[in-house]
Amino acid sequence: AQTVTQSQPEMSVQEAETVTLSCTYDTSESDYYLFWYKQPPSRQMILVIRQEAYKQQNATENRFSVNFQKAAKSFSLKISDSQLGDAAMYFCAYRSGGGADGLTFGKGTHLIIQP
Amino acid sequence: GAVVSQHPSRVICKSGTSVKIECRSLDFQATTMFWYRQFPKQSLMLMATSNEGSKATYEQGVEKDKFLINHASLTLSTLTVTSAHPEDSSFYICSALGGLAGVSYEQYFGPGTRLTVT
């Protein structure tokens, strides 16, 4: 079974600064996807970024980027120029490469943005 | 596009009764939907995978007789919590699998349903 570990229950960052959220995972599969989801107080899950395991290039979406280290099974999220609207729970998630499997989530990191 | 709705958003029921939660994909067809459960200040846990026209697949430890899942159409899956007890109180989130086969599958999440059993 796959596991996803987020070791930072809470992180705090000053507005406009950069913050990195950590995630490690364990799997014996070679084909899989990794995700970062944001869950604001509304509880609606919002996809932040996705990384295909077969791609060496790190995914980037505007201010959000990942550092994907496949050998180390590490998948961190970097948020640049943090904004107040970034405050939320962030979940790292894993999905097998078949496409029709559910997600395995980490425990989440509560991100606080200090104005 | 790719909107998923859930109904109701909040429900309160008495212990021993059953409650049904609907999950609909509004602008796409979804052969597969997923049901997750989220306790306060905790992560999402996959409960079951719902496939249109076939029986749901439940994760280990999830009681299939308590959590009945029906995926009768390509746009609707329902979760019925039978004989609810206070420990079933939780936030239930569904997601629908969309996208082109062979390209990538994306999971689109509903807004969730808060169930309180008194």
| Mean per-residue pLDDT of chain B | 91
The reply to whether residue B111 touches residue A101, judged by beta carbons under 8 angstroms, is no
- Quick check: A91 contacting B, CB < 8 Å? yes
Instruction: Identify the closest residue of chain A to B99 by CA–CA distance.
Output: A99
Give the pLDDT confidence score for residue B31 in this predicted structure. 85
Question: pLDDT tier at A67 (50, 70, 90 boundaries)?
Answer: very high
Q: What's the token pair of residue B4?
A: 């998923």
| Mean per-residue pLDDT of chain A | 95
Distance from CA of B82 to the nearest CA of A (A): 23
Give the pLDDT confidence score for residue B53 in this predicted structure. 84
Give the pLDDT confidence score for residue B102 in this predicted structure. 45
**Taking 90 as the threshold, does the pLDDT of residue B28 lie above it?**
no
Q: What residues contact residue B102 under an 8 Å CB cut-off, 6+ apart? A: none
Interface probe, candidates A25, A37, A43, chain B, greatest B C-beta count within 10 A: A43
Provide mean pLDDT across the span B101-108. 66
Cα atoms found within 13 Å of the Cα of residue A55, Cβ hemisphere only: 13
Give the pLDDT confidence score for residue A43 in this predicted structure. 95
Provide mean pLDDT across the span A20-31. 96
Provide mean pLDDT across the span A88-114. 93
B47 touches B64 (CB < 8 A): no
Provide mean pLDDT across the span A18-44. 96
Give the pLDDT confidence score for residue B44 in this predicted structure. 96
Count of CB atoms within 10 A of residue A46's CB?
A: 13
Cα separation, A40 vs A46, whole angstroms = 8
Q: Residue B28 carries which DSSP code?
A: S
Provide mean pLDDT across the span B12-28. 95
B51-78, pLDDT tens digit by residue? 888 899 999 999 999 999 999 898 999 9
Cα separation, B47 vs B64, whole angstroms = 9
Cα separation, B47 vs B55, whole angstroms = 14
**Taking 60 as the threshold, does the pLDDT of residue A23 lie above it?**
yes
Cα separation, B48 vs A38, whole angstroms = 22
Cα separation, A98 vs B68, whole angstroms = 25
Provide mean pLDDT across the span A74-101. 94
Cα separation, B50 vs B80, whole angstroms = 13
Three-class SS string for B76-99?
A: EEEEEECCCCHHHCEEEEEEEEEC
The reply to whether residue A105 touches residue B95, judged by beta carbons under 8 angstroms, is no
Phi, psi for residue B22 in degrees, rounded to 5: -105, 145
**Taking 90 as the threshold, does the pLDDT of residue B101 lie above it?**
no
Instruction: Identify the closest residue of chain A to B106 by CA–CA distance.
Output: A99
Q: Is A16 exposed, middle or buried (0-12, 13-18, 19+ CB in 10 A)?
A: exposed
Angle at B17 between CA B16 and CA B23, to 5 degrees: 130
